[in-house]
Amino acid sequence: MAKISGNFAMACIHAAILFVYVINVANAARVMMPLHPYMREQEKPISNIFDTSKYGILQLGNGLAKTPQMGWNSWNFFGCNINEKVIKETADALISTGLAKLGYNYVNIDDCWSEPSRDSEGQLIPDPKTFPSGIKALADYVHSEGLKLGIYSDAGAFTCQKRPGSLQHEYDDAVLFASWVCSFFFFYGSLFSLHLCWNCFPLFLYDFLGGIEGLVHILILFFVIQGVDYLKYDNCFNLGIDPEERYPPMRDAINATGRTIFYSLCEWGVNDPALWAGKIGNSWRTTNDINDSWASMTEIVDINDKWAAYAGPGGWNDPDMLEVGNGGMTYQEYRAHFSIWALMKSPLLIGCDVRNMSAETFEILSNEEVIAVNQDHLGVQGRKIFAYGPDGCYQIWAGPLSGQRLVVALWNRCSKTATITAKWPSLGLESSISVSVRDLWKHEFVSQNSKSSFSARVDAHACEMYIFTPTMETHSAT
């Protein structure tokens, strides 16, 4: 009997070992990526540019951010040295330079706009020394130019510069932001107009005349509100409370105002916001603050790249604002910075003094072909797909665009000029496919029928950027 039960125990142990082995083998087989028939080992891409597995699954759905936001933000150049004159002149410069027409529409005031403490009723107050006319007047000014105004607050007790934060004041503050309004109701064709602000007087007059002309009192109600259009919501002095608890109340408060406000989460990537922020905001910072250096810019790019599969229309990864034009990088480095931001579908928020831009800075920021990559309606974040050479510093970044096209960047992160080659398998293209290649910085076609690979000489730290359009067949969607 003892022998039988001993044998039975041994059989059970063997069965258990066999079971664990089979499960392991099955799991290993499951996660192994099938090798593309054309791929030799060294051509295996780092990541599949057609991976959109998480794309759009977490949408806030407030109708905004169909493409990444574009505009300007005060922080990178001005820090706390802001005032209403700077903001107005910046809005003017966005118009006069033509940048606004290219899509740079948000004029975003960052930290330091408010008094160090709330008023006796607990409301935030604009600093009377720097913003004596108040934020509402500024909103009216910016709106009168056809632009949008952004404001800043913090999901903590204080902002990073120790102004009052909005934690536990979400509803009051959201109402305040939305109520910096020039608003009116009017009934077209009627004589009745209710105006809530003097700045609407020209509109009132127009409406009134329209009313006299209209014989029938057809009632159409228009509710026009012009408050703040964008909120950047920072992460300082957060009392150790989980961001997933601190960020939703402001979303709910904004929604409750009835005003559509772009909600930009600035959580610095601490709790991997790509995994959860899509339901809460229109963009989420994935990294710590950028600074105006090659080292910072490249470090941030690599961090942001990790989260590519999560970006999509409605919600974008945010690797921080642009430093182009602030003086800490070379022309080629700034061009690379701008190219890769555009390819990664990152917000294009200018961070320099647009009132005094150099011609080179303007040339970079106004490259319409690069902007079009960023604003492409397919909305798939491009990524690093291949790296080789010393420390992997010859890099190929790519992503799909609408119309079966691809954006491809050859980026030389080494300190010497080099020839960089993109081979079709790493781009997910069949070798037989022929593509036309348009150079987005030269603004010309550099090839009409490239097959199997494409190479270019790339200066140290430079990034050449192209659109590949298949001229035969289409690329494989694997």
Residues that bind ligand GAL (CB under 6 A): 75, 110-111, 159-161, 234, 236, 266, 289
Name which of 234 and 464 has its Cβ closer to ligand GAL: 234
Closest contact distance (angstroms) between CB of 74 and ligand GAL is 9
Closest contact distance (angstroms) between CB of 436 and ligand GAL is 40
C-beta of residue 381 within 8 angstroms of C-beta of residue 317? yes
Active site residues: 234, 289
Name which of 107 and 309 has its Cβ closer to ligand GAL: 107
Closest contact distance (angstroms) between CB of 288 and ligand GAL is 7
CA distance 422 to 387: 10
Name which of 164 and 428 has its Cβ closer to ligand GAL: 164
Name which of 236 and 393 has its Cβ closer to ligand GAL: 236
Helix, strand, coil shares of the chain as percentages rounded to 5?
35, 20, 45
The alpha carbon dihedral of 428, 432, 435, 437 has a sign of: positive
Name which of 269 and 425 has its Cβ closer to ligand GAL: 269
C-beta of residue 423 within 8 angstroms of C-beta of residue 394? no
Closest contact distance (angstroms) between CB of 337 and ligand GAL is 16
C-beta of residue 269 within 8 angstroms of C-beta of residue 301? no
As to burial, measured by CB atoms within 10 angstroms (0-12 exposed, 13-18 middle, 19+ buried), residue 113 is buried
Name which of 269 and 278 has its Cβ closer to ligand GAL: 269
CA distance 108 to 127: 16
Closest by CA position to 164, among listed 107, 113, 227, 231 = 113
| Complete DSSP assignment for 330-380 | -HHHHHHHHHHHHHTT--EEE-S-GGG--HHHHHHHT-HHHHHHHT-TT--
* Two tokens, residue 230: 């964008």
CA distance 172 to 182: 19
Name which of 154 and 376 has its Cβ closer to ligand GAL: 154
As to burial, measured by CB atoms within 10 angstroms (0-12 exposed, 13-18 middle, 19+ buried), residue 240 is exposed
CA distance 457 to 464: 9
Closest contact distance (angstroms) between CB of 232 and ligand GAL is 7
CA distance 281 to 228: 16
Closest contact distance (angstroms) between CB of 234 and ligand GAL is 5
Residue nearest to ligand GAL (CB): 160
Closest contact distance (angstroms) between CB of 236 and ligand GAL is 6
- In the block, tokens 């916001």 appear at 273
C-beta of residue 312 within 8 angstroms of C-beta of residue 275? no
